[in-house]
Amino acid sequence: MGKDAKPEQKRRPFGFRLLSLLGMDFRQENRPETPDDLSSAGTLAMASRPQVPGRTILPARLGERYQVQRILGSGGYGTVFLVRDLVIGRLVALKLLHHGLRPGGIVHRHFIQEARIAGQLDHENIVVIYTVETDADCTGIVMEYLPEGSLASRLAERGCLAEIEALRILHGVLSGLSAAHQIKVTHRDIKPGNILFDPKGRPKVSDFGVAHLPREEGGVSGDTEFKPVGTPVYMSPEQLVGDPNLDGRSDLWSCGVILHEMLCGSLPFVYKSKSTVEEALQVVMTHDPGNPLLSRPELDPATVELLERLLARLPERRFQSSQEALRFLEPLISRINQPPPSAFPDQIITSPVSLLEDVMRLLLVDGMMSPPERREIMRRATRLGVLPEVARELEAKIRREMGLPSLDTIEAYETAVRLLAGDGELGDSDRAVLESTSRKLGITDIERSMIDKDAVRRGREK
């Protein structure tokens, strides 16, 4: 915080306000404000104070409402900030167009079109757009913040996914795209980095920045509208050549690339580089996709057929719509989800859900579950084909039955601790407030200590 910041502009960090909502009467004397507090006259709350092209603070009017926490990402056209909406009190993502990109230009028009498209798509598998903000020559899109990461980070961490998990993610992506395709929108940049996850584990399609909307539907038009845009290794053959008749089937090709990557841990084609449109076009036109059975021989034959149809070189040989792909996918998911028939009919087969519930009860028998144990439970739920929301409801039910603090309470406390320990440290005053709050919430000292230590360790690993 700058020396000239005014005391009345200070605001308690989100973690402490969350603790206050949990029942802790947090007064000013409980923890004095320090120069390291996140809120301060709209400045970036980052230790290194990195420079953003043309900006280290938000423009004046935006700075009155939004308070920057950190940079989530930056590209050639703009920067995405994690900000706190000071009016509502929630964390949101603010995508700000760089200075120098003039209003009315092609980039600016696509930027506004992105907000218009996503704003019209009220769908659980599409990132929510709240509003568009303007200030002088600055334009920004305010959207929901999804802290659970992207498919790209999940693949980087795990390499490949279980078949049922990959198919469910694809189902969510196709559902979101179906809503977009119904209003004639082609996304044109479907890739793992643009698939985000909400706290319930649902995939959400993001970034309609290069989406195509036909001119007759009110879309941006220009000489470069059909120039190949996007990430070449995820682009369809027709997108790579700049076909003006490109439609939603192009996005289905991108979905095929992603499905192969989720199942096999690699792209379906081998490239010398991953940057040029020319090389990508040459590869996809002269080579067939890799055989997924070489690395995953246990895949269901219908999954292999799904891949083949999504990655058909000619659009006419693919599914003709995202809805058609969903009609093929849904019975496949249902069938893979079914437990295999028993060779011994009189033998009792424990369902995946029942098995997971038994493990949870064993872990909670002493009244607590550590954050690493909960993360491992969620990983095993995925392997067993149990949806994250089902696993979460199981723990919530067990906690109710055993008279333990609710899962909502535990998760809220964990969120607060992670925010306070974001730099890998918890000060004495932080610990005192956390200890008092945890006792009011009925969280044992042992469980509190496990949560605190896990948050500090993960903060140091960032």
Write out the residue range of the structural domain in which residue 227 sits.
151-337
Compute the average pLDDT of residues 340-357: 63
Report the percent of the chain where pLDDT is more than 70.
78
Q: Is residue 254 part of a domain?
A: yes
CATH code of the domain in which 81 resides? 3.30.200.20
The verdict on 224 and 320 lying in the same domain is: yes
Give the pLDDT band (50/70/90) at residue 6.
Answer: very low
Domain CATH for 218: 1.10.510.10
Q: Is the pLDDT of residue 329 over 60?
A: yes
Residue 47 reports pLDDT greater than 80: no
Rg (CA), the chain: 24
Q: What is the mean pLDDT of residues 215-238?
A: 73
Distance of CA 351 to the CA centre of its chain: 30
Closest listed residue to residue 210, CA positions, set 224, 189, 183, 195? 189
**68 in the same domain as 176:** no
pLDDT of residue 281: 93
Q: Among the three residues 337, 372, 406, which one is the final residue of a domain in this structure? A: 337
Residue 290 lies in a domain: yes
Nearest one of 171, 117, 107 to 143, comparing CA atoms: 117
359 and 322 within one domain: no
Q: In the prediction, which pLDDT does 33 show?
A: 30
Considering the domain architecture, whether residues 139 and 193 belong to the same structural domain is answered as no
User: Looking at residue 150, what DSSP letter applies?
Assistant: B
Average pLDDT over residues 171-191: 92
Q: Please check whether residues 201 and 271 belong to one and the same domain.
A: yes
| Domains identified in the chain, total number | 3
Q: State mean pLDDT over 111-137.
A: 81
d(CA 110, CA 219): 9
- Could you tell me if 166 and 267 lie in one domain? yes
Residue 28 lies in a domain: no
Is the same domain home to 100 and 160?
no
The domain boundary, picked from 118, 144, 170, lies at 144
Average pLDDT over residues 232-250: 92
What integer pLDDT is reported at residue 315 of this predicted model? 96
User: pLDDT for 279-309, tens place per residue?
Assistant: 999 999 999 999 999 999 999 999 999 999 9
The reported pTM is 0.63
Statement to judge: residues 191 and 288 lie in one domain: yes
Pair 440, 23: CB distance under 8 Å: yes
Residue 246 maps to a domain: yes
Same domain for 80 and 61, yes or no, is: yes
**100 found inside a domain:** yes
Retrieve residue 440's tokens.
């009011």
Q: Mean pLDDT across the stretch 320-340?
A: 89
Same domain, 315 and 215: yes
DSSP for 223-288, please give it.
Answer: TTTTS--S-GGG--HHHHTT-TT--THHHHHHHHHHHHHHHHSS-SS--S-SS-HHHHHHHHHHSP
pLDDT the model gives residue 76 = 60
What mean pLDDT value characterizes the chain?
Answer: 79
258 and 117 housed in the same domain? no
In a domain, 10, yes or no: no
Residue 3's pLDDT is: 38
Q: Is the pLDDT of residue 345 over 60?
A: no
| pLDDT in the model for residue 209 | 77
Same domain assignment for residues 262 and 322: yes
- pLDDT attached to residue 34: 30
Question: Residue 385, SS3?
Answer: coil
Is the residue at 135 inside a domain? yes
Report the C-alpha gap between 256 and 237 in whole angstroms.
13
Can you count the helices (H) and strands (E) in the chain?
16, 7
Q: Give the position of tokens 């096999």.
A: 264
Residue 104 has pLDDT above 70, yes or no: no
The band of 325, judged by pLDDT with boundaries at 50, 70 and 90, is very high
Q: Indicate which residues carry an active-site annotation.
A: 189
User: 337, 360, 377 — which closes off a domain?
Assistant: 337
Nearest to 85 by CA among 133, 122, 121, 37: 133
Q: What is the mean pLDDT of residues 333-351?
A: 63
- How confident is the model at residue 249, as a pLDDT? 96
103: pLDDT strictly greater than 90 = no
At 191, the pLDDT band (50, 70, 90 cuts) reads: very high
SS3 label, residue 59: coil
Give the pLDDT mean for 183-194: 91
Do the domain assignments include residue 265? yes
